[in-house]
């Protein structure tokens, strides 16, 4: 007779999409359309200077629904910098605008990354490399100012997880390498720490 073999549950702890980022030639064309079409509103705006260096080559506007559970950042390229804008490079490789990355939310990024990295040799995804000792020893403690423990910083360092903060709280995040043959689409894994969206 038929034997029902229950497949084991395989989970990396990923809960839902946290945000989806688009790269477009002109920011306002798209954001105005999202306001009219989906009723989104402007949640935050970042110019090239806000992102870190002018060489980042982007302006960005984060669009959100009323409950701020749907976040859709939209990037446009800036010009006149020493290096070509990463957004312009995306548009050229992608041959038009498109989704740059989708962020997937987890409640425990350490457990998620240990499971995902264990699968890398078996057809999993490759992640971006470790940003180096100075990042974890100097940059992170200065930026986070006691928001997270030294123990967590050490664990993130082992797994190459980036640590950042915004107006809402802390972010633990890591990016895959591009998933296709062109340097376009990738995935982000994110855990929000101490903010309204945490676990929500």
DSSP category for residue 122: G
DSSP category for residue 108: -
Q: In what order do the strands lie in the sheet with 41-46?
A: 41-46, 58-64, 71-77, 14-23, 98-106, 186-193, 169-175, 162-166
Is 198 exposed, middle or buried (CB count within 10 Å of its CB: 0-12, 13-18, 19+)?
middle
pLDDT (0 to 100) of residue 57? 80
- How much is the average pLDDT of 61-90? 91
pLDDT (0 to 100) of residue 194? 74
pLDDT > 50? residue 81:
yes
pLDDT (0 to 100) of residue 199? 41
Q: Which tops the pLDDT comparison, 195 or 180?
A: 180
Task: Using a pLDDT cut of 90, give the percent of the chain over it.
Answer: 64
SS3 per residue for 128-186: CCCCCHHHHHHHHHHHHCCCCCHHHHHHHHHHCCEEEEECCEEEEEEEECCCCCCCCCE
* pLDDT tens figures, 88-121: 999 999 999 999 999 999 999 999 999 998 887 7
- How much is the average pLDDT of 171-192? 94
pLDDT band at residue 164 under the 50/70/90 scheme: very high
pLDDT > 90? residue 3:
no
Query: Which run of H or E residues covers position 77?
Result: strand 71-77
- pTM score, two decimals? 0.84
Is 136 exposed, middle or buried (CB count within 10 Å of its CB: 0-12, 13-18, 19+)?
buried
Q: Three-class SS of residue 50?
A: helix
pLDDT (0 to 100) of residue 34? 95
Find the length of the chain.
Answer: 200
pLDDT > 80? residue 163:
yes
Helices first, then strands: H and E counts in the chain: 7, 8
* pLDDT tens figures, 20-48: 999 999 999 999 999 999 999 999 887 65
For 30, phi and psi rounded to 5 degrees? -80, -45
pLDDT (0 to 100) of residue 10? 76
- How much is the average pLDDT of 65-77? 94
């Amino acid at each position: 007779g038929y034997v029902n073999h229950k497949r084991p549950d395989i989970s990396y702890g990923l809960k839902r999409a946290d945000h989806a980022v688009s790269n477009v030639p002109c920011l306002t064309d798209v954001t105005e359309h999202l306001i009219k079409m989906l009723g989104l509103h402007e949640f935050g705006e970042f110019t090239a200077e806000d992102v870190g260096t002018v060489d980042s080559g982007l302006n960005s506007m984060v669009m959100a629904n009323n409950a701020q559970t749907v976040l859709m950042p939209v990037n446009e390229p800036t010009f006149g910098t020493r290096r070509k804008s990463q957004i312009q490079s995306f548009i050229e490789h992608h041959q038009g605008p498109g989704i740059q990355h989708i962020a997937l939310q987890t409640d425990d990024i350490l457990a998620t990354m240990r499971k995902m990295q264990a699968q890398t040799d078996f057809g999993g995804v490759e992640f971006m490399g470790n940003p180096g000792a100075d990042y974890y020893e100097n940059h992170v403690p200065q930026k986070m100012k006691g928001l997270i423990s030294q123990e967590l910083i050490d664990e993130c360092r082992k797994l190459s997880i980036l640590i950042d903060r915004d107006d809402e709280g802390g972010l633990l995040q890591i990016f895959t390498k591009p998933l296709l043959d062109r340097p376009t689409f990738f995935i982000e894994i994110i855990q929000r720490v101490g903010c309204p969206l945490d676990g929500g």
